[in-house]
Structure 1
Amino acid sequence: MATSSDYALGEYTFPRGWFMIGAASDATRIPAPIRYFGKDLVLYRGESGTAYVVDAYCPHMGAHLAKNTTSYIVRDGEHVEGESIRCPFHGWRFGTDGACNHIPYSDFIPKAAKLRTYPTIERAGIIWVWHDEEGLEPDVELANFGGHYGEPGWVEWKIDYMGDLNSHGIEIVDNMADFGHFIPIHGAKDWQYFANEFQGHVIHQYYSAGHRTLTAADGDQLVLDTWYEGPGFLQSEMAGAFDSFIMIANTPVEDGVTRSWHALMVKVHDGSRETTAEDRANALMYQEGSRLAFAQDVEIWANKRASINPLAIPNDGPYGKVRTWYRQFYNPRAMAPEIQARVNGLAVTLDRRPGHQAA
């Protein structure tokens, strides 16, 4: 597998941004061991219901905060107290700011007794974490996913785990520029338009074409606005047989290993009536069609070698711009404006709309 340094992405091993770490149901009052960004972490839910993510190892003597079933801290239900988590080894308790706030056998608490904590938000049925190797607070808001989650007339998505891929995130984000793969991989046809727009920390893909499975009839166009707000997850507003909203999340587990998920919300009516079991069945069927389409990409990523320097031709799409855009998340935040300025703007790969021609 290729690493961030192999791609010469920048100073940092892992990117800055919001990342999915699991479904909301993964966070419980029982602390759970998780691993992302090359680190052992712990996910737990406080008594208020709020989810938290902290480093896994106690700064006292290095015990894992979640991997224990036999300590009386765990047996007696003291593992999570209020919003705090206790170490099962000696009972040191750490608050939401990471600082130790109680030692059962000492009034003295060292200032160094502190866990690293990670900004964590539960939204749209998913747990999201902000990762930044500079340790800075988020400088971008987490997306609201079109406002569709819980909106009347929309069926909420289920989470499809797509696997842990021996593929770096850049190989996945390359898809934003990859015009050439849509016909052999996804069955696109009757192309009208394909373009990318770079806007600071956001990249858009504009797509209009027929599709073998996701359009209702021959001649219909599948029209998508697909975008990344940072490196961690894709969103897409799709007009087709049903209006729908796609989310694809890609989170680094190790340097060069990426965990991937897919989810799809479907608009089944205008919100003026109750959603029926038939509506939900139709939405799940449509989500499965979208999952299968994404699985075609996943199969490629799971079996390809690293493409450090793609042998790209002009009609492939603007791979170079996408990779330059992606570098902003692997370098100090202060460098982002300069990197963005190198790519900002519209890049049109194909335009067959009446009265238009490709730039």
Structure 2
Amino acid sequence: MEAQQTSQTTPPASRYARGWHCLGQASDYKDGKPHRLDIFGTRLVAFAGEDGRIRILDAWCPHMGADLALGEVKGNAIVCRFHGWHWNGEGACEHVPCAKRIPPKARTRAWTVCEQNHLLFIWHDPEGAPPPPEVAVPRINACFTGEWTGWTIRKMVIGTHCRELVDNLADVAHFGPVHGSPAVYFCNTFDRHIGYQMFRGEESELLGSGMVADSAYFGPAYHVTRMTAEVDGKPIDTILLNCHVPVDAQSFELRYGVMVRKVPGQSEAQNQQMAQAYVEQAQASFFQDVEIWHNKIRVDRPVLSDADGPVYQLREWYRQFYTDVADLPADLDRKKVFERRDGTWRTLDDVPPDAVSKLHLI
């Protein structure tokens, strides 16, 4: 798809996207220990108190600069290993050993977090505003029915800007060369903070035949796909998690997860064996992308053909997360749809209503 190459600025190196970022399974943080997080160009510490709620604070102690991730969790606070100051989940110092009073300025930054779909999320906003209700992380009902396996998640660090990952939402042309699964139908919909993708393929080298995948970025960094395919004559229904959080301007933590619907009549062991086999196939397919990301450069003005997807339009949508709220474009609320059917691209004016992604997750 040959896009109009409008002016585009590179996100500043010191700025990270506004939105919810996934930090993996919440249960991983509920072991009574502090967890170091090197993200957003700084260091944070995550810990669960005795009440089970996870807190995240700036890790550098305001007292003398020690790393709170080396400390100890006591009650609902974390204790600095250097001088024993206690910091609660709201970032306030609540105890200083041997001191007669707590300094009034003894505070550190507490980050907004939430748990959803058995995952932990952290809110980042360079302007310091809280998350508005309309960008809440949507619930995936499959996580709570018992009809699906739990998340199997792999984590890795990718040495490039995270926009390279987000480009895949519109990059229809890579499915054939990279995954051996060319698209027979493809559609992108950009609707405020959500970017949808509909994909239909006939054959995949790793993931079976008759692939149907509906996916969406809910904000800049949390991507969920509902996918069905046929493997060895049996239908496989999966939910894929693809999420990232920036380490710095040129690297990000990537987490890739899979859930598989259990087959009725099979034992728990048989379902787990089936799920693990498909997880390995799905991860092998995803790692085909990872190899590309590890070995490419950033191109701000790609030269596109009419076989490419709406890459420039995707980047315009993605730029909202790096833009001050007061400077967001006036047409952000206008839904934009780009459909490729029978090798021909169509835009919003002549796309039927059924072209909008039906992501039945929430």
TM-score, structure 2 normalization: 0.85
Letter of the 2:19 counterpart: G
Alignment partner, residue 43 of structure 2: 40
Alignment partner, residue 315 of structure 1: 307
Q: Distance in 2 between matches of 1:344 and 1:351?
A: 19
- 1:222 and 2:225 aligned: no
CA distance 1:193–1:293, change in 2 (3 Å): same
Which range moves more in the overlay, 200-209 or 281-290? 281-290
- 1:211 and 2:200 aligned: no
Per-residue CA deviation, residues 265-299 of structure 1 (Å, 9 max, x unaligned), is 111235xx675201111111111111111101110
**Structural mapping, 1:276-291, within 5 Å:** 276-291=268-283
- 1:195 and 2:187 aligned: yes
Out of 245, 251, 255, which is 1:257 matched to?
Answer: 251
- 1:142 and 2:137 aligned: yes
Alignment partner, residue 326 of structure 1: 318
* SS of residue paired to 2:320: helix
Q: Distance in 1 between matches of 2:202 and 2:75?
A: 53
> How many Å apart are 1:204 and its aligned residue?
0.3
- 1:18 and 2:15 aligned: no
Letter of the 1:225 counterpart: D
Per-residue CA deviation, residues 102-130 of structure 1 (Å, 9 max, x unaligned), is 22223432332111111122333432211
> How many Å apart are 1:337 and its aligned residue?
5.3
Out of 343, 346, 352, which is 2:342 matched to?
Answer: 352
Alignment partner, residue 75 of structure 1: none
Per-residue CA deviation, residues 301-349 of structure 1 (Å, 9 max, x unaligned), is 00111222211223211111111111111111233453625x731111x
Per-residue CA deviation, residues 159-178 of structure 1 (Å, 9 max, x unaligned), is 112x2111111111111110
CA contact (8 A) 2:179 2:205 kept: no
Unaligned runs of 5+ in 1: 1-5, 69-78
Letter of the 2:138 counterpart: A
Per-residue CA deviation, residues 224-262 of structure 1 (Å, 9 max, x unaligned), is 111101111211111213111111111100111011111
Q: Distance in 2 between matches of 1:98 and 1:46?
A: 13
> How many Å apart are 1:89 and its aligned residue?
2.0
Q: Distance in 2 between matches of 1:106 and 1:215?
A: 62
* SS of residue paired to 2:271: helix
Which range moves more in the overlay, 241-250 or 148-157? 148-157
Which range moves more in the overlay, 97-106 or 240-249? 97-106
Q: Distance in 1 between matches of 2:141 and 2:24?
A: 20
Which range moves more in the overlay, 313-322 or 174-183? 313-322
CA contact (8 A) 2:70 2:80 kept: no
CA contact (8 A) 1:98 1:117 kept: yes
Out of 75, 86, 91, which is 2:84 matched to?
Answer: 91
Q: Distance in 1 between matches of 2:111 and 2:91?
A: 9
Letter of the 2:125 counterpart: D
* SS of residue paired to 2:321: helix
CA distance 1:136–1:12, change in 2 (3 Å): farther
CA contact (8 A) 1:42 1:66 kept: yes
Letter of the 2:58 counterpart: D
CA contact (8 A) 1:12 1:330 kept: no
CA distance 1:166–1:214, change in 2 (3 Å): closer
Alignment partner, residue 74 of structure 1: none
Which range moves more in the overlay, 126-135 or 259-268? 126-135
* SS of residue paired to 2:91: coil
> How many Å apart are 1:84 and its aligned residue?
1.2
Alignment partner, residue 94 of structure 2: 101
Unaligned runs of 5+ in 2: 1-7, 231-235, 347-362
CA distance 1:308–1:137, change in 2 (3 Å): same
CA contact (8 A) 1:324 1:339 kept: no
> How many Å apart are 1:52 and its aligned residue?
1.3
Q: Distance in 2 between matches of 1:19 and 1:346?
A: 25
- 1:49 and 2:52 aligned: yes
Alignment partner, residue 358 of structure 2: none
Q: Distance in 1 between matches of 2:78 and 2:267?
A: 40
Alignment partner, residue 268 of structure 1: 262
Count of aligned residue pairs for this structure pair: 331
TM-align CA RMSD: 2.2
